[in-house]
């Protein structure tokens, strides 16, 4: 079982994240930010990654530190659970429609972090959460997970649908990328023999 736990304690946040890449989409998420909890639950359910998140942060200031640090811990946990990334399919992509919204998310678990974020919102907040924090979450996750990650919202009007399609797209792309390829289960999916570093 590919599992990992990451803990992070700073003056701003105290976070513990556990993942099981070979799970069934079971989740327990408590960040203190209702909308973020909802998105992480979607991520777990549609990736089939078991996710356990317990986070306490300086929410009396704003949601920035907790949002970013949860993404860092989750990304680090995924990376740790992947280990040498031997045998994984590596790539994944998904087109996610939600009513009037369509979003594409593509991932390469290359151990070379990069984010392309072509997503715009028409409102500054969803519930109590600043919409600008979603890019921060994806950036921190990509960096910590060692993932090249592209998110592109083609169109949409409802901001809830737009961001939820991004998280569901990430989930489905991850589900593909972390899958073990039975034809090459003993090999790192790169001609270099290792993932990371230069192209």
Provide the pLDDT confidence category of residue 131 given band limits of 50, 70 and 90. very high
Residue 165 has pLDDT above 90, yes or no: yes
CATH T-level topology, domain 3-177: Ribosomal Protein S5; domain 2 (3.30.230)
C-alpha dihedral sign at 72, 199, 22, 35: positive
| pLDDT at residue 63 tops 70 | yes
The confidence band for 183, taking pLDDT boundaries of 50, 70 and 90, is confident
Task: Report pLDDT digits (tens) over 106-123.
Answer: 999 999 999 999 999 999
Two structure tokens written together for 90: 């590596």
Rounded to an integer, the average pLDDT of 23-52 is: 97
Q: How many angstroms separate the CA atoms of 110 and 177, rounded? A: 10
pLDDT over 50 (residue 199) = no
What are the structural domain ranges in the chain? 3-177
Average pLDDT rounded to a whole number, residues 25-34: 97
CA–CA gap between residue 67 and residue 145 (Å, rounded)? 15
Residue 172 and residue 107 in contact, taking contact as beta carbons nearer than 8 Å:
no
């Amino acid at each position: 079982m590919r599992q990992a736990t990451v803990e992070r304690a700073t003056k701003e946040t105290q976070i513990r994240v556990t993942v099981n890449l070979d799970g069934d989409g079971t989740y327990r998420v408590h960040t203190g930010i209702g909308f973020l909890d909802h998105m992480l639950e979607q991520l777990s359910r549609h990736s089939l990654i078991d996710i356990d998140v317990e986070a306490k942060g300086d929410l009396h200031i704003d949601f920035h530190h907790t949002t970013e640090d949860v993404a860092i811990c989750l990304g680090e946990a995924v990376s740790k659970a992947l280990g040498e990334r031997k045998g994984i399919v590596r790539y994944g992509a998904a087109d996610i429609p939600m009513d009037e919204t369509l979003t594409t998310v593509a991932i390469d678990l290359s151990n070379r972090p990069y984010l392309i974020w072509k997503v715009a919102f028409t409102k500054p907040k969803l519930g109590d959460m600043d919409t600008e924090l979603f890019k921060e979450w994806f950036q921190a996750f990509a960096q910590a997970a060692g993932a090249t990650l592209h998110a592109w919202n083609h169109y949409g009007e409802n901001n809830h649908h737009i961001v939820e399609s991004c998280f569901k797209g990430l989930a489905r792309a991850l589900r593909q990328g972390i899958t073990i390829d039975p034809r090459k289960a003993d090999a790192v999916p790169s001609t270099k023999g290792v993932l990371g570093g230069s192209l």
